[in-house]
């Protein structure tokens, strides 16, 4: 495995693993490969591109096949329920790709769709059961559905993965951590209204933190309003380091180890 070193804005050498970045998104159509190859020079060691439906899962797998530092996750996002074919055959096939390390991005989203909760929950369970069958972790999208997400994962005590861009309570975080889950932290940790996220970060052990961008979304301060990419991990790591009383170098090191451990890389 080849890793790349980041020279941070402070001139210190570091490595990062962006465990959640949607480089298959149309926002990158104009410069996708050039941007990704440019991240080498910024020292981004590894990236996971999670699919959101059959097409984006295929695109994520293709990117992972083409670029040695990119891995894929495949799945059907709850926002894509309306276009879901009713079969996970394609996701199952893509999950067998040697560069696929997880089932995701999957879960529940009651912010965009509060009318089809039962259908979302059924799809979530189907994909969890696929992940367990294939011995893969999952990447969970949970937006304004914390109680139902927690109820579902409780039913699968052997299940492991990450709650991406964690937005639940500190109490829910404590239970997830007891059950062996990881929590993903993104650009919102740098926002002025991040009080709840910071409370969760304070109680999250270093060995359960993953660092993400959710590119092209959720750009951190001071890049808000601009297209996000993995080159902005520095800002997120610096905020996490501030809260945890350590250095960005340590955050880079341990989140690289955490991501490799969870995803088997």
User: DSSP string covering 146-168, please?
Assistant: HHHHHHHHHT-TT--EEETT--S
How do the pLDDT tens digits run along the chain, 265 residues long? 444 444 444 444 678 999 999 999 999 999 999 999 999 788 799 999 999 999 999 999 999 999 999 999 999 999 999 999 999 999 999 999 999 999 999 999 999 999 999 999 999 999 999 999 999 999 999 999 999 999 999 999 999 999 999 999 999 999 999 999 999 999 999 999 999 999 999 999 999 999 999 999 999 999 999 999 999 999 999 999 999 999 999 999 999 999 999 999 9
Return the domain boundaries, the chain.
6-263
Which residue in the block uniquely carries the two structure tokens 């991040």? 194
Q: For position 169, what pLDDT does the model report?
A: 97
Q: How far is Cα 80 from Cα 92, in angstroms, rounded to an integer? A: 17
Q: For position 40, what pLDDT does the model report?
A: 79
Q: Which residues contact 215 (CB under 8 A, 6 or more apart)?
A: 18, 21, 22, 23, 25, 227, 228, 229, 230
Element (H, E) at 252: helix 248-263
Structure tokens at 195: 């009080």
Cα–Cα distances (Å) from 104 to 10, 14, 50, 243, 251, in that order, read: 34, 27, 6, 28, 24
Q: For position 3, what pLDDT does the model report?
A: 43
CATH topology of domain 6-263: TIM Barrel (3.20.20)
pTM, whole model, 2 decimals?
Answer: 0.95
Q: How many CB atoms lie within 10 A of CB 204?
A: 22
Q: For position 13, what pLDDT does the model report?
A: 64
């Amino acid at each position: 495995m080849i890793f790349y070193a980041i020279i941070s804005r402070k001139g210190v050498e570091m490595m990062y693993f962006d465990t959640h970045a949607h480089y298959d998104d149309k926002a990158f159509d104009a410069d996708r490969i050039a941007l990704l190859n440019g991240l080498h020079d910024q020292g981004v060691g590894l990236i996971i591109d999670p699919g959101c439906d059959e097409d984006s899962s295929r695109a994520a797998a293709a990117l992972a096949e083409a670029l040695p530092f990119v891995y894929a996750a495949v799945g059907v996002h709850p926002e894509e329920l309306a276009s879901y074919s009713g079969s996970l055959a394609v996701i199952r096939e893509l999950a067998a790709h040697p560069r696929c390390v997880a089932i995701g991005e999957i879960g529940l989203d009651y912010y965009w769709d509060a009318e089809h909760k039962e259908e979302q929950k059924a799809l979530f369970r189907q994909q969890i059961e696929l992940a367990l069958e294939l011995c893969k972790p999952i990447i969970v999208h949970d937006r304004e559905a914390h109680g139902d997400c927690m109820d579902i994962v409780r039913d699968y005590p052997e299940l492991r993965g990450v709650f991406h861009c964690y937005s639940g309570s500190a109490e829910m975080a404590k239970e997830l951590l007891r059950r062996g889950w990881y929590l993903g932290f993104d650009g919102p940790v740098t926002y002025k209204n991040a009080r709840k996220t910071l409370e969760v970060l304070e109680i999250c052990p270093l060995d359960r933190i993953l660092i993400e961008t959710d590119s092209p979304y959720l750009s951190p301060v001071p890049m808000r309003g601009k297209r996000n990419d993995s080159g902005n991990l520095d800002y997120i790591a610096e905020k996490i380091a501030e809260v945890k009383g350590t250095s960005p170098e340590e955050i880079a090191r341990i989140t690289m180890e955490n991501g490799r451990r969870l995803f088997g890389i």
